[in-house]
Amino acid sequence: MKQSPSITFRDIDRSDAVEQKIRKRIDRLERYGSEIISCQVVVETPHRTRKSGKIYKVSVDLTVPGDEIVVNRNPEDDQSHEDVYVAIRDAFDAAERQLKEYGERRRGDVKRSNQPPPGVVDRLFPDEDYGFIDPKTGGAHVYFHRNSLVGASFDDLEEGTPVRFTEEAGDEGPQATSVHVLSDASVVGGDV
């Protein structure tokens, strides 16, 4: 890694054991991507639920050549994240998957048909920091939050902006975990 990893604790006391676990997972990430430029990890307790105690949120932000890998999930309904080590495991497992996919794309192992699907921004709700994507492959509209944008500003988005996105099942339907705005040059023949 070209830069030292950054580990930040928010609304939680710093813990040597937690930091050591995070550093082990960062070292493990380097096995999947020796080209990692930087790694920022944030451990926080953003919410207290009525039914339980603290829910931990772990965000991982990796900078790699030509891209950024962001794992930033909202665990408020995942009671297993009352254990900080489970939250760390889940965040780093997701980062490993995305880093493996990035490596496959860089090596050319992924065929064009396996690229994330194209779509266009269909609706925006700027006051609430989210919007919906109309996937051009058919199917339901896909929810996305401003934090799922990679390399673009939510405030610069407009309805009709072409994007590619990675989708997963959310509690209330499909949601995008990462959204990449396509430049006009990457939209071949208007095939978004």
Q: What's the rounded Cα separation, in Å, for the pair 154 and 38?
A: 23
Q: What is the pLDDT of residue 187?
A: 45
Domain assignment present for 169: yes
Contact between 91 and 164 under an 8 Å Cβ cutoff? The reply is no
The total number of residues written for the chain in this structure: 192
Q: What is the pLDDT of residue 192?
A: 43
In tens, the pLDDT along 147-185 reads 888 878 888 898 989 998 888 877 788 888 888 888 754
Residue 103 sits in the same domain as residue 130: no
Look up the domain containing 158 and give its range.
117-190
Contact between 135 and 120 under an 8 Å Cβ cutoff? The reply is no
Q: How confident is the model at residue 41 (pLDDT cuts 50, 70, 90)?
A: very high
Q: What is the pLDDT of residue 43?
A: 92
Query: Beta strand pairing status for 118-125 and 67-71?
Result: unpaired
In tens, the pLDDT along 89-105 reads 988 988 888 888 888 87
Mean pLDDT of the chain: 81
Domain assignment present for 112: no
Q: What is the pLDDT of residue 105?
A: 78
40 backbone φψ class: left, alpha, beta (φ>0; ψ -120 to 50): beta
In tens, the pLDDT along 3-40 reads 899 999 998 899 999 999 999 999 998 887 668 889 99
Residue 154 sits in the same domain as residue 135: yes
Domain assignment present for 103: yes
Average pLDDT rounded to a whole number, residues 117-132: 89
Q: What is the pLDDT of residue 68?
A: 86
